[in-house]
């Protein structure tokens, strides 16, 4: 794992997102599953049960890929990073609407964008294969 930035990042992010998903349930008692407003995780991140489930699924995908292989980690890092980039941008536009089924707030948007930068940066930039040419 030390030789693969993708595996390392996927494993760390996976473990963190699993923990965040579990902790989220401690603050969402009485909150509707897809409520547009939720409980406050760490005092700044708004979450509802659907948001917690999303964190658990994303965390599991990252952790499994990180433990599996560099190629799996690279693929999942890139896909999750792209999804977080989209969510980070779209989140600003849906925050005060009925479309905000994940109970997102401004802190969530910036965290999603930061996660996207790291995951995409590693997924796209690390572990590129180089072609070698053989002289005849």
Q: Residue 21 is encoded by which pair of tokens? A: 């998903």
CA distance 116 to 118: 6
Q: Tell me the mean pLDDT in the region 75-104.
A: 95
> Would the pTM count as exceeding 0.75?
yes
Average pLDDT value for residue range 98-120: 95
Which of these ranges, 49-63, 86-100, 101-115, 120-134, has the smallest mean pLDDT? Answer: 120-134
Q: Name residue 45's beta-bridge partners.
A: 41
- Measure Cα distances from 36 to 45, 48, 59, 103 in Å: 13, 8, 22, 4
What pLDDT, in 10s, does the model give residues 25-39?
999 988 889 888 889
How many angstroms separate the Cα of 7 from the Cα of each of 62, 65, 126? 9, 7, 10
């Amino acid at each position: 794992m030390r030789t693969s930035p993708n595996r390392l990042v996927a494993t760390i992010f996976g473990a963190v997102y699993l923990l965040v998903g579990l902790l989220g349930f401690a603050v969402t008692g009485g909150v509707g599953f897809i409520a547009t407003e939720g409980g406050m995780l760490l005092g700044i991140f708004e979450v509802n049960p659907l948001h917690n489930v999303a964190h658990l699924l994303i965390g599991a995908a990252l952790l499994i890929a990180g433990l599996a292989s560099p190629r799996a980690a690279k693929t999942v890092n890139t896909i999750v990073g792209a999804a977080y980039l989209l969510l980070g941008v779209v989140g600003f536009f849906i925050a005060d609407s009925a479309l905000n089924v994940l109970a997102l707030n401004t802190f969530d948007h910036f965290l999603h964008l930061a996660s996207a930068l790291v995951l995409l940066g590693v997924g796209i930039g690390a572990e590129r294969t180089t072609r070698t040419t053989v002289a005849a």
